[in-house]
Amino acid sequence: MHVAPAQPAPPPAPRTRAARPDWERVRADFPILDQQVHGQPLIYFDNAATSQKPRAVIEALRRFYERDNANVHRGIHELSNRATAAYEAARARVAQFIRARSAEEIIFTRGTTESINLVAHAWGHANLKPGDVILLTELEHHSNLVPWQLLAQRTGARLAFVPVTGDEAELDLSKLDALLSPPVKLFAMVHISNSMGTVNPVADLCARARQRGVVTLVDAAQSAGHMPLDVQAIGCDFLAFSGHKICGPTGIGVLYGRAEILENLPPWQGGGEMILSVQYHRTEFKKPPHRFEAGTPDISGPIGLHAAMDYLDALGREHIWQHDQELAHYAYERLAALGNVRLFGPKVGRAGLVSFLLNDVHAHDVVTLADRAGIALRGGHHCTQPLMRRLGIESTARASFYFYNTRAEVDRFIEVIREIQKFFAR
């Protein structure tokens, strides 16, 4: 029988550096940014979909495969011990990154989507009965909506939604207390809307839910890596995010679960790694988090993610947040000044993206023409189809920023948008 290694307690969070980084120099850490697309310097404004990777992350992956690659928690040979130590060190680093109380509260998954599906399966089946309500917001990404629809169909629970105000896409919280009343069992909410840039007051929402005994889940796909995150200050029961949006590799994600809740959750997938002892007719499972990680996990993913978290904290997430917001406000003001632009999301306090439509121009045409100028945007429903319908639109064009983007790039983007407007005005 194999016993899981002891979980190290997370060290205290690193102190933020005082000085703002030199963002122009930071760009040199990202080899991919130094290229031409259609004969123009690449401007990468699709960071909400996935971020680029700094050399430190690429190197960490290379080092692992060149020196330490082996399966985890199995062998007692040197390479397996090294791989296991690195895998578990990454878990402790995630706990520190989001200020969880212990590494045992951190489960590795494939990404935000899988983290939410894990909760829907493991928590949902154990806790919901016909007539119960799952409360969501009208801002949710499909990955924080479809798993709950499936769960509702299987359990007889139903969904309810906190409404948004209109194009500014802020939550209308006037009826929240009524919406949170029994038989609501779970409130799952997005922290930052990927299609609108709205920043939800998750600590307040979780506090109000907790007062009524409602379990909470925060979809932090767009906030982790863009701002400091503290799960204890937020007071949520679950929080999910993806490594690939925060400079880490694809295929690795995180589910934070409060220890008291994880302790009592049944497994969601069965297989190797998650067991203490197996007989032909019954199995004894490991404790969390290993109970929820069946089979050989993504091992290089956490190691790459570890390097990404170190990289982001060396820059300082407060600085990243400030930089992203400044770029988004600048882009918003300049788009508004162009005229004939419909802008979505809050006017103030928005996260690092702008979502817009040019009058009489389809979002896909904007994105196609921008691509010819070397600018990577995204056009479409951004996996928020019900929200688009609610606003009476099919799609928007979106520019989403990260710390390696610059004001000069926003200026060039505005110039290209002006050319697109002229082209369609002919």
Q: Annotated catalytic sites, by residue?
A: 383
Candidates 248, 212, 209, 233; CA nearest to 93 is 248
Q: Which of 43, 48, 135, 354 binds ligand 7TS (CB under 6 A)?
A: 48
Supply the minimum distance, in Å, between the C-beta of residue 139 and ligand 7TS: 8
Closest-by-Cβ residue to ligand 7TS is 194
Strand order in the sheet with 106-109: 106-109, 253-257, 238-242, 215-219, 184-190, 133-137, 158-162
Q: Which of 7, 51, 84, 112 binds ligand 7TS (CB under 6 A)?
A: 112
Check binding of 111 to ligand 7TS (CB under 6 A): yes
Supply the minimum distance, in Å, between the C-beta of residue 83 and ligand 7TS: 24
Of 182-201, binders to ligand 7TS (CB under 6 A) are 190, 194
54-84 b/e (C-beta count within 10 Å ≥ 16 → b): beebbebbeebeeebebbbbeeeeeebebbb
Q: Encoding tokens for residue 220?
A: 């932090």
For ligand 7TS, which is the closer residue by CB, 190 or 299? 190
Supply the minimum distance, in Å, between the C-beta of residue 18 and ligand 7TS: 31
- Sole window of 69-77, 216-224, 292-300, 320-328 interacting with ligand 7TS (rule: CB under 6 A): 216-224
Could you tell me if 278 and 256 are in contact, meaning their C-beta atoms sit under 8 angstroms apart? no
Check binding of 47 to ligand 7TS (CB under 6 A): no
For ligand 7TS, which is the closer residue by CB, 83 or 391? 391
376-401 b/e (C-beta count within 10 Å ≥ 16 → b): bbbbbbbbbeebbebbeeebbbbbbb
Q: Encoding tokens for residue 163?
A: 């409404």
Check binding of 221 to ligand 7TS (CB under 6 A): yes
For ligand 7TS, which is the closer residue by CB, 117 or 325? 117
Check binding of 26 to ligand 7TS (CB under 6 A): no
For ligand 7TS, which is the closer residue by CB, 229 or 275? 229
Check binding of 298 to ligand 7TS (CB under 6 A): no
Check binding of 136 to ligand 7TS (CB under 6 A): no
Q: Which of 51, 155, 242, 421 binds ligand 7TS (CB under 6 A)?
A: 242
Q: Which of 382, 401, 404, 405 binds ligand 7TS (CB under 6 A)?
A: 382
Check binding of 170 to ligand 7TS (CB under 6 A): no
The CA distance from 350 to 345, in Å, is 7
Could you tell me if 350 and 199 are in contact, meaning their C-beta atoms sit under 8 angstroms apart? yes
For ligand 7TS, which is the closer residue by CB, 111 or 345? 111
Could you tell me if 210 and 180 are in contact, meaning their C-beta atoms sit under 8 angstroms apart? no
Q: Which residues fall within 8 angstroms of residue 415, CB to CB, at 6 or more apart? A: none
* Radius of gyration, CA atoms only, the chain: 22
Backbone angles phi and psi of 58, in degrees to 5: -60, -40
Check binding of 141 to ligand 7TS (CB under 6 A): yes
Candidates 119, 156, 193, 134; CA nearest to 381 is 193
Check binding of 395 to ligand 7TS (CB under 6 A): no
The CA distance from 196 to 217, in Å, is 20
Segment holding 65, helix H or strand E: none
Q: Which of 4, 26, 42, 49 binds ligand 7TS (CB under 6 A)?
A: 49
Residues lying near ligand 7TS in the complex (CB under 6 A) are found at 48-49, 111-113, 141, 143-144, 190, 194, 219, 221-222, 242, 382-383
